[in-house]
Amino acid sequence: MRTRFAPSPTGFLHVGGLRTALYAYLIAKQTKGKFLLRIEDTDQERSVPGAVENILSTLHWAGLHPDEGVMMRKGIMAQEGTKGPYIQSERTEIYKKYADELLAKGLAYPCFCTPERLTKMRDDQSARKQAPMYDRHCLSLPKKEIEQRLAKGDPHVLRLHVPHERTITYEDEIRGAMSFQGHTIDDQVLLKSDGFPTYHLAHVVDDHLMEIDLVIRGEEWLSSTPKHLLLFELFGWTPPKYAHVPLLLNKDRTKLSKRQSAVAAEDYIKEGYLPEALLNFLALLGWNPGSEQEMFSLPELAEAFSLERVQKAGAIFDTEKLLWLQGQWIRRLSPQDFAERIRPMVVARFPDADQDPHFPERAALIQGRVTFFRETPEMLGFFYEEPKVTMGLLANPKQKVTPELLPKVLKALAKTLDLLPDNKWTIDTLKEAVQKTMKKEELGQGQILWPLRAALTGLPFSPGAYEVAAALGKTATMARLVSAQKIAA
């Protein structure tokens, strides 16, 4: 299948747009088809400089590389394929040709109504509690008047003449049978007064000429679908299949908004989310795999995804689930990959880490404890500088470690560990020795392990005490225990 993602460059790519792109990409891949990227920039007033580049870089980051259309090649924007241009502002002559065809056949008509008249018309309809629709004032203008006004160059738009007596039906790939009464469909503007087409005309022409088989888009376009199907019919073209995906919702079931959540994919990239985590999360927003599996790689999604299992109801954007997936994907990285990814940011703060032959093993200690790479310098800092240990950290009421008990615990630890020879300084021997002391001194596990870990790392959260002591080595461990004893004295 040939599918497409066709965003408007009105700002950073929305997470809902990224989900739409993902679904279109998955269908293309599982059918061995083509995923096309088209930029719909006919609304020039709303176009934002740099938005196209952001869309491309976000798709590239996510691994959703277009097979055709607008893409990045070695950091340079390019258009590749035989059906371009793939930027709508470069296709205006194509749209005008088809708009003129509709006008010549009497299937569209010029409208000279001023913005002021249209505003009053909508206000009056609202006061009467009617749905806002064009009242077809210009449809009944005499032919001679129309010709004169066109000859004078009076500002006008071109509107679609919708047959009100018709019922338009189609089968949505997600929502099933859909039906629309012609009298409820507005005579939509096709060409604006500046000569640029509206979305309604441009995307229909493009989807036909670019041979798109399936259009996946948000449910907000559902009410416009009959206009688009009518245009395909009037041109004598076979329409693509349509699938309207559910909205993304805040926890209070309102439409996802930046007042409650970050809505730009860029925000999640800057936050440090892995593309695997964000795509996994977005795929599950509205789609049920029909199994207990929650983690899906991109190839796994391409194999498992189906529009039949996309729900009609809105999907709650639960960032707690996203955080969980982020942590899970961090754990899935190979230890070597994890170490290489975090090394630059750790070295930036602790230059000694660059020449540390034990860096991979030390990185492995924290892989299961971090959610974002940015947390790693602080988590590994105790390997490269003396930790800042305080009495408040060493003593812990929750672990029943009182200031009065602390000197006894640290003295027992120092005495026990000092007896271990360097060649037997391993996690297992450390654990065995400390547990014997724990039993002998009648101490609870938290009472002995909390002070040990706090003394070695200076952190309230860190890898386990035995792992840290083994990684630090005997000399550093003993020195830090001596320092902690001075603080507790």
- pLDDT for position 45: 85
Give the position of tokens 């870990």.
453
Work out whether strand 34-37 and strand 68-73 pair parallel, antiparallel, or are unpaired. Answer: parallel
DSSP character for 307? Answer: G
Q: Where are the domains of the chain?
A: 2-88+248-315, 91-245, 334-383, 391-488
Give the pairing of strands 315-316 and 76-80: unpaired
- Fold agreement between 91-245 and 391-488: no
Angle between helices 474-488 and 465-472 in degrees, nearest 10: 120
Q: How far apart are CA 36 and CA 212, in angstroms?
A: 9
How far CA 476 is from CA of 144, 413, 424, 482, in Å, comes to 96, 14, 15, 10
Torsion of CA 446, 451, 453, 459, to 10 degrees: 110
Strand partners of residue 87: 39
The CATH code of domain 2-88+248-315 reads 3.40.50.620
- How far is CA 105 from each of CA 99, 111, 146, 193, rounded to the nearest angstrom? 10, 16, 15, 20
Residue 259 is predicted with a pLDDT of 66
For residue 108, the SS3 value is strand
Contact yes or no for 264/194 (Cβ under 8 A): no
The CA distance from 189 to 224, in Å, is 12
Quick check: 40 and 88 in contact, CB under 8 A? Answer: yes
pTM value > 0.85: yes
Tokens found for residue 397: 């009421």
Q: What confidence score (pLDDT) does residue 489 get? A: 86
Q: What share of the chain is helix, strand, coil (3-state, %, to 5)?
A: 55, 15, 35
Structure tokens belonging to residue 468: 């840290």
Catalytic residue among 258, 408, 436, 440: 258
Torsion angle, alpha carbons of 137, 142, 146, 149, to 10: -90
Which regions of the chain are under pLDDT 50?
A: none
pLDDT, residue 235, reads 97
In CATH terms, the fold of domain 391-488 is Arc Repressor Mutant, subunit A (1.10.10)
What architecture does CATH give domain 91-245?
3-Layer(aba) Sandwich (3.40)
- The residue assigned the tokens 């709303």 is 46
What is the spatial distance between Cα 365 and Cα 135, in angstroms, rounded to a whole number?
70
439 is catalytic: no
How far is the C-alpha of 70 from the C-alpha of 198, rounded, in Å? 20
